[in-house]
Amino acid sequence: MEGVIITGGKGTRMRSITYVLPKPLLPLFSFNSDGRRYVKPFIDFILERFEALGLDPVTLVFSRNSSLIIDYLGSRGPLRLRLRLVLDAEMRGYGNAALLARSSVTGPFVLNADDNILPLEDYRAGVELFEAEGPDAVLFVHRVEDPTRYGVIAPSSQGEFRGYRTYGVRGVVEKPSEPPSDLAMAAIYVMSPRVFKALEEVKALKGEGEEIELVEGLQRLIEEGGNVMALELRRRWVSVGRPEDYLEAIRLSYEVGL
């Protein structure tokens, strides 16, 4: 299985921090083998999880905002995976950036935004669910108090996989005024290349320069008969996408690690 990381977003919710440092380079605490804390950038947590999962190669979709990230990756030392770079010159949203990875991806892949991570065991469960059940996509979801702030699934059925609740998904919607559930999606997915066709069809219906959301591609995939499943997380994903999320990530990383 391969990996895809989407970087280079505008980071508007994290201004003015991201005027200086992009979200993937925001520092968080980690622990040495002797238990002492040290600081490393957020993207290292993503890459280390991908390495542990054996994802290779990993495609990094980057934009003109990503120069500091590329410089860091060139200086951080060797990775235990092959890294491929794909330029997002259009910057038309997460869905369009994911579509650009099609030129590099050859099979099933884990798609990860540059500001979300899960515990390694949750990634592993999602990958194993994908391999066991063979859906077109596995989404990671968690129950939230205010689902109007998130992309949300409409579940069609409920099951169980290795101690996790699972759901069939009959629809997805971004920041709904009337949410079909309280199950919000992390910006992390396990997918088959079939999603690229759905995203291409969504893009064809858009005006020039109009943003393409990944949720739109997922909904198109479902409408065309694609099998989409969701795995419910035991605790919420870690995010650095908003100031309050980043503060919580700092606290978690300092107290118990990520």
- Give the start-to-end residue ranges of the domains of the chain: 1-116, 119-127+134-186+194-236
**CB-based burial of residue 183 (10 Å sphere; 0-12 exposed, 13-18 middle, 19+ buried)?**
buried
**Encoding tokens for residue 148?**
């109007």
What pLDDT digit, counting tens, does each position of 35-62 carry?
A: 899 999 999 999 999 999 999 999 999 8
For 70, half-sphere exposure in the C-beta direction (CA atoms, 13 angstrom radius) is 14
**Encoding tokens for residue 250?**
């700092």
**Encoding tokens for residue 130?**
């994908």
Hey, which CATH number is domain 1-116, 3.20.20.70, 3.40.50.300, 1.10.1060.10, 3.90.550.10?
3.90.550.10
- What's the distance, CA 131 to chain centroid? 19
CATH, range 119-127+134-186+194-236: 3.90.550.10
CA gyration radius, the chain: 17
pTM of the complete model: 0.92
- What's the distance, CA 141 to chain centroid? 12
- Assess whether the region 1-116 and the region 119-127+134-186+194-236 belong to the same CATH fold: yes
For 131, half-sphere exposure in the C-beta direction (CA atoms, 13 angstrom radius) is 9
What pLDDT digit, counting tens, does each position of 118-149 carry?
A: 999 999 999 999 999 999 999 999 999 999 99
